[in-house]
Structure 1
Amino acid sequence: MDAYGISEVQITDSDIVLSLHNGSTLSTPIQRYIRVEKASPAERLEWELTEDGYGVNWPQLWKPFPTGMVSVWDLLQDPLYDAAMKKMADNEWEISRLSPRDQELVALWRLEADVNNGGFLQFFCNWGEENCLTAIRALEAIGSSDMLHIVQQMYALVVPYGQADANVSLSDLPVLITEEDNDRMYELDQAFWDYPEPLPELVVRHYL
């Protein structure tokens, strides 16, 4: 286990606090985890580390998650995304003004947020081709080969519509896409939702 592994878990009235092997601590509000928040003091102490040591579960309260109900990687990834989005806001939401690193973080945040909310078409129609290509470069950079392959297939499905008609707009895509391509896109959305790789961990290890 490396420096990001959990060495100790403490639970206060307001927070879950993780101590890591590298000497740092991470805290998250207990109210984010309603079953832990509503649990008795004794039940809150019945936590278990995940097999890899980077997450915490409460098996008596909820079926264990492979990555943990509370995950080190999620807690470290969120500030990376938040900082990149703040830089976007500070630059009048002009992504071109950001460093390549921050552009990639913004693109990954948008990818996760939109695909998990409404699928790849929502992501592509909201942010466009250049943002999609930035997300693809980011997935390649962090070594997320399986997720990269999924997103590349998604992108390949929509490219022909722009090539066939230069005047097609992003808002037209959901109407123009064929039933066959739409069905295939849904299959790819589901593959993305299954998270074949630990994306938060890859993001943290590359960008932190």
Structure 2
Amino acid sequence: MRFFDALKKDDPAYEIFNSALDTVFDEGDGVTEHIERLTDQARLVYLLWCLDGEVHNGGFDQLFTNSLGNHCLEILRHLEVVGATNSHRLLARAVSWFPNSSPSRNRTERWSQHESFSDNPEYQAEMDRLDTEFYEYKDNLASLVNAYVARHPDASVRA
């Protein structure tokens, strides 16, 4: 699927996300994510759409314990690309709890990192504050990602 094809729909980014989701889990076990199958542009759409859903579902803390947490640093770069300055600031603050502000890309290692501070009342209070501010939706990620899709009509989903 080309991004141009999605521009005819009401929510182009959602169309790209769904196509990316099918691509990521196509011909697999339904659990293993094959994000390498996506173009750089589709990765941005996929990861930012997942971030939005993940944080709205369970907050930044959930992001760190789920597989999407493997991509925190890439997500930070993508937030800059689309101009989501508030979301970038919030995620950067959340990842600052990890050594060198760098959550491991390995989920098991990241769980171990997370375990070292997750019971800290200061961490829990800060995550609550960051989540609450994210829920205010100052950046409107959906609009920013739709604008990104519109700026890249020649991009495709599959690498």
TM-score, L = length of structure 2 = 0.71
* Cα distance change, pair 170–94 in 1 and its aligned pair in 2 (3 A): same
* Cα distance change, pair 194–127 in 1 and its aligned pair in 2 (3 A): same
Per-residue Cα deviation, 1:167-202 (whole angstroms, up to 9, x for no partner): x73334257321111111110011111111221111
In proportion to residue count, which structure has more helix? 2
The amino acid across from 1:111 in the alignment is L
Query: 1:120: Cα distance to partner?
Result: 0.8
Which residue number in structure 1 is paired with residue 87 of structure 2?
A: 147
CA distance in 1, matches of 2:134, 2:12: 21
For residues 113-128 of structure 1, the aligned pairs below 5 Å read 113-127=53-67
Per-residue Cα deviation, 1:83-142 (whole angstroms, up to 9, x for no partner): 211111226421123221122222112211111011111112112554111211111111
* Cα distance change, pair 158–185 in 1 and its aligned pair in 2 (3 A): farther
For residues 52-201 of structure 1, the aligned pairs below 5 Å read 75-90=11-26, 92=28, 93-127=33-67, 129-159=69-99, 169-172=109-112, 173=114, 176-177=117-118, 178-201=120-143
Unaligned 5+ runs, structure 2: 1-6, 151-159
CA distance in 2, matches of 1:149, 1:161: 13
Query: 1:82: Cα distance to partner?
Result: 0.9
Unaligned 5+ runs, structure 1: 1-23, 27-71
TM-score, L = length of structure 1 = 0.56
Identity across matched positions, percent: 23
| SS in structure 2 of the partner of residue 176 of structure 1 | coil
| SS in structure 1 of the partner of residue 138 of structure 2 | coil
The amino acid across from 1:77 in the alignment is A
Contact 1:114–1:122 (CA<8 Å) still a contact in 2?
A: yes
Contact 1:103–1:134 (CA<8 Å) still a contact in 2?
A: no
Which residue number in structure 1 is paired with residue 148 of structure 2?
A: 206
In proportion to residue count, which structure has more strand? 1
Which residue number in structure 2 is paired with residue 18 of structure 1?
A: none
| SS in structure 1 of the partner of residue 66 of structure 2 | helix
* Cα distance change, pair 89–194 in 1 and its aligned pair in 2 (3 A): same
Number of equivalences? 134
